[in-house]
Amino acid sequence: MNDKGVTAVLLLSCPDQKGLVASVSDFLYRNDGNIIHADQHTDAEEGIFLQRVEWELAGFRVPREEINEAFRPIAERFGMTWRLHFSDYLARIAVLVSKQAHCMYDLLARQRMGEFRAEIPLVVSNHPDLRSVAEGFGAAYHHFTITRETKAAQEQAIIETLEAQRIDVIVLARYMQILSDGFVAHYPGRIINIHHSFLPAFAGARPYHQAYERGVKVIGATAHYVTAELDQGPIIDQDVVRVSHRDSVADMVRKGRDLEKVVLARAVDLHLRNRIIVYGNRTVVFD
Amino acid sequence: MNDKGVTAVLLLSCPDQKGLVASVSDFLYRNDGNIIHADQHTDAEEGIFLQRVEWELAGFRVPREEINEAFRPIAERFGMTWRLHFSDYLARIAVLVSKQAHCMYDLLARQRMGEFRAEIPLVVSNHPDLRSVAEGFGAAYHHFTITRETKAAQEQAIIETLEAQRIDVIVLARYMQILSDGFVAHYPGRIINIHHSFLPAFAGARPYHQAYERGVKVIGATAHYVTAELDQGPIIDQDVVRVSHRDSVADMVRKGRDLEKVVLARAVDLHLRNRIIVYGNRTVVFD
Amino acid sequence: MNDKGVTAVLLLSCPDQKGLVASVSDFLYRNDGNIIHADQHTDAEEGIFLQRVEWELAGFRVPREEINEAFRPIAERFGMTWRLHFSDYLARIAVLVSKQAHCMYDLLARQRMGEFRAEIPLVVSNHPDLRSVAEGFGAAYHHFTITRETKAAQEQAIIETLEAQRIDVIVLARYMQILSDGFVAHYPGRIINIHHSFLPAFAGARPYHQAYERGVKVIGATAHYVTAELDQGPIIDQDVVRVSHRDSVADMVRKGRDLEKVVLARAVDLHLRNRIIVYGNRTVVFD
Amino acid sequence: MNDKGVTAVLLLSCPDQKGLVASVSDFLYRNDGNIIHADQHTDAEEGIFLQRVEWELAGFRVPREEINEAFRPIAERFGMTWRLHFSDYLARIAVLVSKQAHCMYDLLARQRMGEFRAEIPLVVSNHPDLRSVAEGFGAAYHHFTITRETKAAQEQAIIETLEAQRIDVIVLARYMQILSDGFVAHYPGRIINIHHSFLPAFAGARPYHQAYERGVKVIGATAHYVTAELDQGPIIDQDVVRVSHRDSVADMVRKGRDLEKVVLARAVDLHLRNRIIVYGNRTVVFD
C-alpha cells in the first residue's frame, strides 16, 4: 500500500486523567508523526476525555499495520477505548429508502461527484418505486417487501445482502420502516438516520403535521445514530429553518426536505471522515 | 385628540368567504382611508380568514370614536371577530420576575430608549432581589412572597395591584411561578411568557439540563401567550442558536439568555404594534 | 383547456394611490373569483404599490383567455404594470453549467421528483464534462466551446438553441462565463444566477478565497436575476452558514455548495410559482 | 493570592513544527497541571500553529508569578509568541458611546449581573446625552466634545483618562467617531468595535440604508478588533438575521440593534475569557 497523502486518524476516549495529551502527542512525536489535525474534549461532568488526532503516514516510523500494536501500551495504561482509521479506506454504504427520493438522490449525486470518501454499491427498499433512480446511478437495487409476518425473515435477508456486499455504513434516507432491535444490534454505531423534525420535538410519525398543529415558528431536521430506542439515538447534527403562518403543511414538507438532505449528508460526511465519537447517548463531533 | 400621524389598526378573523377583502377595502376607500399596511391570511385547512389593516386617521371621514360602529355592519355580515387599535395608545406593561434579571433589564432599557410603544409602571416579583434594578429604571417594585398556602391570596393581591395600575399586558420575564388558571383567565391573550427552550422540546423545568443530557446540537427559546395549560399556549416567536459538545450546561444557559431576551422583546414588540391575531392555539404574526 | 384545480395569478405594480385593493378585490368578487392567496406591499419610500393575487379558475365568470382584457380598464386607470399566469403552465428551463455539477444534479433531481412546475429539456455548457449526467436525466446536452474570439457567435448559437426549445427560464447553475449584455437583454427577468457569496460581499471571482482571507465568521450564497451589471441584479434569496478558523478554503467550498444548491432551487421555485415581482433593482417575494 | 478555583490560560502561536503539542503538554504534565481546556489550530496555508491551554493553578508546582519564566525555554525553542492570563484578573473596561444607547445598556447590565469577568468604571462619549444612564449603573461619564480642530487634543485627553483608570479594554458601543491611528496604536488588540453590517458588505456609513437600497435578504453585524484601516480589523464574531421586502430601513435598524448588542457582548466575553488569538488579520476563537 502506498502511504503518500494518506493520513491515520485515532479516535479515543477514556476516564479523564493527567498525562493523556502528553502521552499521545509524545507517541506521535517520537515516531516522527506530522500532526495535521488534533482536537480533544473533556466532559467535566462525566469525567471523560475524548480525542481525535490525525497525522500523515508518510514519514511515520511505525508501518500502518503495526500502529495498533504500537499504541496499545498507552491505551491500556489509560484504559482507552480507541479506533484507528486510514484516509485511503473507501467505506461501502448501503442506502435504505422507501418512496421519497430526495435524500437518496442527494447521497448518490454526492457520491458520484466525489464528495464522499465512499462507494454506494447498493440501495435497499421496502418498495419497488425507486429502482430506476438507483440503477441510473449504478447502484444495485434490492427490493424486500415487508409485512408484519415477513419482517423478521426479510430483515435477515437484508443483513445477508449487506454482509455479502461488505457494507460498513447504513444510511436510512427517509426509510419508513422501524428496524428491529436485532438488526440495530448488528450494526452498532453504523446506522445513520434522518428524522424530519428537530428532535426531541415531534418524535414519531408525521412531525410536520404535528409542527403545523402546534404552530411553531421554526422547524428542523435531526441526523442521529440508530439505537434500539426509536428516535432516541445519539444526535450527530441538526439544523432548522424559520416558518410562519404562511407555511402550510405542504410548505413545511417542502422546506423540510431541503433540511433533511443537507443535514443527513453532513452527518454521513462527518462519519466517513472519522470526525465523530459516540459516548453515552451523545456525540462529540470534531468539526 | 389629535389624529396627526396616528394610525388605526383593524385585526379581524372570520370564516373564509367571498367578498371579504372587497368589503373591507371598500369600507376604507369610501371613507378616504389611506392604507399604509394591509396583510391577510387564509388558513385553508380550518377555513378561516384573518386580516390586519392599518390606515391613517388624518383625512379619514369617520371620527375615531365612531369607527367601531361604522364597521359593525360589515363585521356582522361576515361573522367577524374584530379589534380596533390606535397607534397613539400607550400600553401599560407589568413585568413579572423572580431572581434572574436579564430579560427584565432588557425590557426596561428598551422601554427607556423608546423602543416600545408602552410604559412599564411596575415590576412584580416573588423575590425581593431585583428591587433596586426596577427602581433604578423608575418602575415601582411590588414583592409578594408566594408559598403553597399563600398563593391564592397573593395572586389576588397581584391582580388588584395590576388593576389599580390599569395594566394591559403582563410580561413574564423568567418568572418562575406557575400562574393559576384563574389568574390566566383574568388576562386572556395578554400574558406573554418566555420559555427557555425550543418548545415543544424540553417543556417543563430545567430545559438546558435536558438539552445537554439529550445531546442536541441546537437550543432555542420560545415566546408564547400563557393559557391554562402549562407551556402550551400559542407561540409568538422562537429562535435558536447552535451548540456543540464544547458547550457545558453553563454555556448553554449563557447562550440561552441572549436568545431569551431577544425573543421575548420581539414578542412584546409585535404585541404592542398589534401585529398578532390568535386563533385556536396558533398565532398569525403580520410582520 | 380544463380549469379544474387551476389557479390564475396576477402580479401587478403601480404608483401607490387610494382604491387599489378595493378595485382589484372588487373585480374578482364581481366575477365570483375565489381568492386563495393575496398579498400586497407598499414601498413607502418609493411610493409604489405591488400586489399578488391568486384565485381559482373554476367558477370564475371570465374565461381565462379573456381575463387580460377584462382587467385592462382597472390596470389602465391606475397605471399598472401587470402579468397574468396560470398554474397549469409548464415552464421550460434551460440549465447552464460549466464543470461543477452540484447545482445541476440538484435541479435535475428536483424536476424529476416533481418539485418544480417545469420541464428541463436541455442543458447548455461551455465544457463537455457533464454530458452523461444531463443525459442520464433525459436532458439534451449542448456543448459550446467559448473563447474570446468565438464568444459572440457562440452566444448567438445558444440563443437560437434556447429559442428553438421555447425556453422560458435560464438557470445559471455555477456557469462560469459572463453573459454579454446582448444575451442578458434577450431574457429580461428570466435569467437566475447563483453567486457563491453573500452579495454584495465578495462579488467577483473566488469568493471563498476572499472570505477565508478576510477571516469572516459567516459565509453565504445569493440567488439573483442577471442584469447587465455583473453580480448586481435583483436579489431573490440569500442564506448563510457559520464558519470558523477550523474551516479551510476547501471546507468553505464544501459548506458553500450546500448553500448554493438550496438557495438556487428556492429561487427557481419562487420564480416558477410566480411569487416574485422585480421593481427597480429589488424584488418583492410573496412567500 | 489565593489560587483556589483559579485557572491559568496560555495563548500561543508559532511556526508549525513537530513536537509542539508534546512539549507544551509535557510541561504541564511534569508540573502536575490539571488541564481543563485545551484546543489548538494549525493554519496549513500559513504554516502557523496556535494553541490555547487552560489549567488549574491549585496543585500546579510552578507558582503563578514564575510560570512565564518556567515556560520561556519552550517558547524560545519553538519561536513562540505567547501570553499568560489568570482567571481571577478583573479586567477594566471603558465603553465609548455617542448617542445610541442599546449596546451600552446591554454591556452595563451584563456587567452588573456578573456576566463579564470585568469592571466598567467609566463611559466616554463625544455627546452629553447618555450621562444619566451611565451614572445610573455607577459608571463615571466623561464627555469630550470633538470637532475637527479639537480631535487630536481631545483624543489625548481621552487616553489620559483611560490610563488614569488603568483601562485594559476599550469597547466601541456604536461610537460614531473614527479613532486616529495614534489612538489605535496605543491599544493594539484591545479595542473592540461593533459594525452594524455584515462586513465586508456595507462598510462605511449608513449600512442599513445601503442594505435596503441593495435589496438584500439577510443583514448582519460584525464585532472586530480595531486597526488603523477603517472596518478592516480582525473579525471576532458575526451574526445575521433575515429581512424581506416587508422591512423598511427603520425595521432593519430595529432588527439590527438586537444583533449588534448580542454580537458585541459575545465578542467582549470571548476577549475577557482569553479565547481569542489574533494572527495576521484573522482571529482564532477557541469557543
The string of DSSP letters for A186-241 reads HSTT-EEEEESS-TTTT-SS-HHHHHHHHT-SEEEEEEEE--SSTT-SPEEEEEEE
- 3-state SS of A231-270? CCCCEEEEEEEECCCCCCHHHHHHHHHHHHHHHHHHHHHH
**Nearest chain C alpha carbon to A243:** C287
Q: What's the rounded mean pLDDT across residues B15-22? A: 92
Report whether D81 contacts D109 (CB < 8 A).
Answer: no
Looking at chain D, which subunits does it touch, using at least 3 CB pairs closer than 8 Å as the criterion? Answer: A, B, C
* Beta-carbon-side half-sphere exposure of residue A160 (alpha carbons within 13 Å): 7
Question: Per-residue pLDDT for C63 more than 90?
Answer: yes
Closest alpha carbon within chain A to B203: A201
Name every residue whose Cβ is closer than 8 Å to that of residue D24 and which is 6 or more positions away in sequence.
D10, D12, D51, D53, D74
pLDDT score for A152: 94
ipTM confidence score: 0.95
Number of B to D CB contacts under 8 A, please give it. 39
D246 CB neighbours in chain A (<8 A) are none
CB contact under 8 A, B248 and A199: no
pLDDT of residue B198: 87
What's the rounded Cα separation, in Å, for the pair B80 and A236? 48
Cell of D34: 490539571
Chain D residue with the nearest C-alpha to that of A55:
D18
Closest Cβ–Cβ partner in B25, B39, B40 for C22: B25
Of A101, A110, A246, the CB nearest to C113: A101
Residues 6+ apart with CB under 8 A from A128: A143
Name the residue among A110, A136, A262 with its Cβ closest to that of C136: A136
What whole-number percentage of chain D has pLDDT above 70? 100
Beta-sheet strands, E only, within chain B: 7-15, 34-43, 48-56, 81-86, 91-97, 118-125, 140-143, 169-172, 191-195, 218-225, 235-242, 276-279, 282-285
More confident residue, C93 or A37: C93
pLDDT 10s digits, B120-152: 999 999 999 999 999 999 999 999 999 999 999
Q: How many Å lie between the alpha carbon of B198 and the closest alpha carbon of chain A?
A: 8
Which residues of chain C does A262 touch, with a Cβ-Cβ cutoff of 8 Å?
258, 262
Which pLDDT belongs to residue B44?
A: 86
Decide if pLDDT at B66 tops 80: yes
Q: What is the DSSP string of A56-116?
A: ESTT-SS-GGGHHHHHHHHHHHHT-EEEEEETT--EEEEEEESS--HHHHHHHHHHHHT-S
Res. B1: pLDDT tops 70: no
pTM of the model: 0.97
CB-closest option in D44, D217, D238 to C237: D217
Supply the pLDDT for residue A2: 82
Q: Which residue ranges of chain A lie beneath pLDDT 50?
A: none
Residue C205 or residue B106, greater confidence: B106
Nearest CA distance, D42 vs chain A (angstrom): 7
Residues 6+ apart with CB under 8 A from A259: A196, A219, A220, A221, A239, A240, A241
Q: List all residues 6 or more positions away from A146 whose beta carbon is below 8 Å from its beta carbon.
A: A126, A154, A155, A177
* C-alpha closest to that of A231 among B232, B218, B214, B241: B214
- Quote the pLDDT of residue A287: 87
**Among C262, C273, C285, C287, the residue to mutate for chain A (most A Cβ within 10 A):** C262
Distance from CA of B52 to the nearest CA of A (A): 14
- What is the spatial distance between Cα B113 and Cα C220, in angstroms, rounded to a whole number? 33
Query: How far is A40 from chain C, CA to nearest CA, in Å?
Result: 14
| Residue recorded with cell 379544474 | C4
CA A94/CA C163 separation, integer angstroms? 43
Q: How many CB atoms lie within 10 A of CB A176?
A: 13
Helix (H, G, I), strand (E, B) or coil at A140: strand
To test the contact with chain D by mutation, choose from C43, C50, C218, C279 the residue with the greatest count of D C-beta atoms within 10 A, namely C218
Sort residue B284 into left (φ over 0), alpha (ψ -120 to 50) or beta.
Answer: beta
- Residue D122: exposure state from Cβ atoms within 10 A (0-12, 13-18, ≥19): buried
The verdict on a CB contact (< 8 Å) between D282 and C234 is: no
Which residues of chain D lie closer than 8 angstroms to B287, CB-CB? Answer: 246
Residue A235 and residue B217: Cβ atoms within 8 Å?
yes
Active site residues of C: 231
Candidates A22, A36, A42; nearest CB to D26: A22
A198 touches A231 (CB < 8 A): no
> And the C-alpha cell for C140?
439534451
End-to-end Cα, chain B, rounded Å: 28
Distance CA A103, CA A262 (A): 8
Q: Which of B200, B201, B235 sits opposite A217 (nearest CB)?
A: B235
Integer Rg of chain B from CA? 21
Distances (CA, A) of B140 to B94, B122, B169, B261: 10, 5, 16, 21
- Under a CB-based contact definition with an 8 Å cutoff, are residues C259 and C198 in contact? no
Q: Is the pLDDT of residue C203 over 90?
A: no
Number of Cβ atoms within 10 Å of the Cβ of C71 = 20
Angstrom distance (rounded) from CA D192 to CA D125 = 16
Interchain CB distance below 8 Å, C287 and A113: no
For residue D274, what is its C-alpha cell?
Answer: 482569553
Mean pLDDT for the stretch of residues B249-276: 97
Closest Cβ–Cβ partner in B22, B37, B242 for C29: B22
Q: How many CA atoms lie within 13 A of D132 on its CB side?
A: 7
CB contact under 8 A, A22 and D44: no
Contact C246/A115, CB-based, under 8 Å? no
Which is nearest to B141 in space by CA: B156, B152, B125, B155? B125
pLDDT greater than 90 at residue D44? no
Rounded to the nearest angstrom, the minimum Cα separation between B264 and chain C is: 24
Over the stretch B86-109, which tens digit does the pLDDT of each residue have?
999 999 999 999 999 999 999 999
Measured CB to CB, residues of chain C less than 8 Å from chain B are 18-19, 21-22, 25-26, 28-29, 32-40, 42, 44, 242
**Bridge-based pairing state of the strands B7-15 and B48-56:** antiparallel
Residue B131 phi/psi, 5-degree rounding, is -55, -50
Q: How far is residue A108 CA from its own chain's centroid?
A: 16
Instruction: State the catalytic residue, choosing from A168, A231, A237, A247.
Output: A231
Q: Which of D37, D239, D262, D275 would best serve as a mutation to test chain B binding (most B beta carbons within 10 A)?
A: D262
Closest CA to D218 of D252, D250, D194: D252
pLDDT at residue C205, rounded to an integer = 85
| pLDDT tens per residue across span B200-253 | 888 888 999 999 999 999 999 999 999 998 889 999 999 999 999 999 999 999
Q: CB-based contacts of C148: which residues, under 8 Å, 6+ apart?
A: none
**What's the rounded Cα separation, in Å, for the pair D285 and C184?**
44
Q: What are the tens digits of pLDDT across the range A114-162?
A: 999 999 999 999 999 999 999 999 999 999 999 999 999 999 999 999 9
Catalytic residue among B231, B237, B247, B251: B231
Q: Which of C227, C209, C224 is nearest to C271 (CA)?
A: C224
Q: C-alpha grid cell for residue D113?
A: 449581573
* Percentage of chain B lying above the pLDDT 90 cut: 89
Residue A141: predicted pLDDT = 98
Question: Which residues does chain D have within 8 Å of residue C44's beta carbon, measured at their own beta carbons?
Answer: 248
Which of the four pLDDT bands, split at 50, 70 and 90, describes residue C26?
A: very high
Q: Which residues of B touch D101 (CB under 8 A)?
A: 109, 113
Instruction: Show residues of chain D in contact with B262, CB under 8 Å.
Output: 258, 262
- Given a contact cutoff of 8 angstroms between Cβ atoms, the answer to whether D203 and D225 are in contact is no
Task: Decide if C40 contacts B38 (C-beta within 8 A).
Answer: yes
| D265/B262 Cβ within 8 A | no
For residue C50, which phi and psi values (nearest 5 degrees)?
-135, 140
For C52-70, what is the mean pLDDT? 96
In contact, D251 and D260? CB cutoff 8 Å:
no
What's the confidence (pLDDT) of residue C61?
97
**Which sign, positive or negative, has the C-alpha torsion A128, A129, A131, A137?**
negative
Q: How many CB pairs under 8 A join A and C?
A: 40
Give residue-wise pLDDT tens across range D101-116. Answer: 999 999 999 999 999 9
Q: Which of A49, A218, A232, A244 to mutate to test the interface with B (most CBs of B within 10 A)?
A: A218
Of A28, A33, A38, Cβ closest to residue D40: A38
D113–B101 C-beta distance less than 8 A: yes
Cell of C191: 435569467
Nearest to C109 among A105, A246, A262 (CB): A105
What pLDDT score does D220 carry?
95
CA distance B174 to B97: 6
Q: Above 70 in pLDDT, residue D1?
A: no
Instruction: Tell me if D108 sits within 8 A of D95, measured CB to CB.
Output: yes
pLDDT beyond 90 at D199: no
Establish, for the pair of chains B and C, how many residue pairs have beta carbons separated by less than 8 Å: 48
What is the three-class DSSP state of A272?
helix
Residue C24 pLDDT more than 90?
yes
Q: Which residues of B touch C (CB under 8 A)?
A: 18-19, 21-22, 25-26, 28-29, 32-40, 42, 44, 242
Rounded Cα gap, residues B254 and B276, in angstroms: 29
Residue that has been written with the C-alpha cell 449528508 in this structure:
A265
According to the model, what pLDDT value does residue B11 have?
A: 98
Q: Is the pLDDT of residue D92 over 90?
A: yes
Banded pLDDT at D2 (limits 50, 70, 90): confident
- For residue C214, give the C-alpha cell: 478576510
DSSP string, chain C: ---TT-EEEEEEEEE--TTHHHHHHHHHHHTT-EEEEEEEEEETTTTEEEEEEEEESTT-SS-GGGHHHHHHHHHHHHT-EEEEEETT--EEEEEEESS--HHHHHHHHHHHHT-SSEEEEEEEESSSTTHHHHHHTT-EEEE----TTTHHHHHHHHHHHHHHTT--EEEESS--SPPPHHHHHHSTT-EEEEESS-TTTT-SS-HHHHHHHHT-SEEEEEEEE--SSTT-SPEEEEEEEE--TT--HHHHHHHHHHHHHHHHHHHHHHHHTT-EEEETTEEEE--
- For chain D, which residues lie within 8 Å of any Cβ of chain B, measuring from their own Cβ? 101-102, 105-106, 109-110, 112-113, 115, 133, 136, 246, 254, 257-258, 262, 265-266, 287
Among B10, B16, B21, B26, the residue to mutate for chain C (most C Cβ within 10 A): B21
Give the B-side interface with A, CB within 8 Å. Answer: 41, 43-45, 198-202, 214-218, 220, 234-240, 244-246, 248-249, 281-285, 287
Measured CA to CA, the distance from residue A63 to residue A70 in angstroms comes to 10
D260, D103 in Cβ contact below 8 A?
yes
Mean pLDDT, residues D183-187 taken together:
97
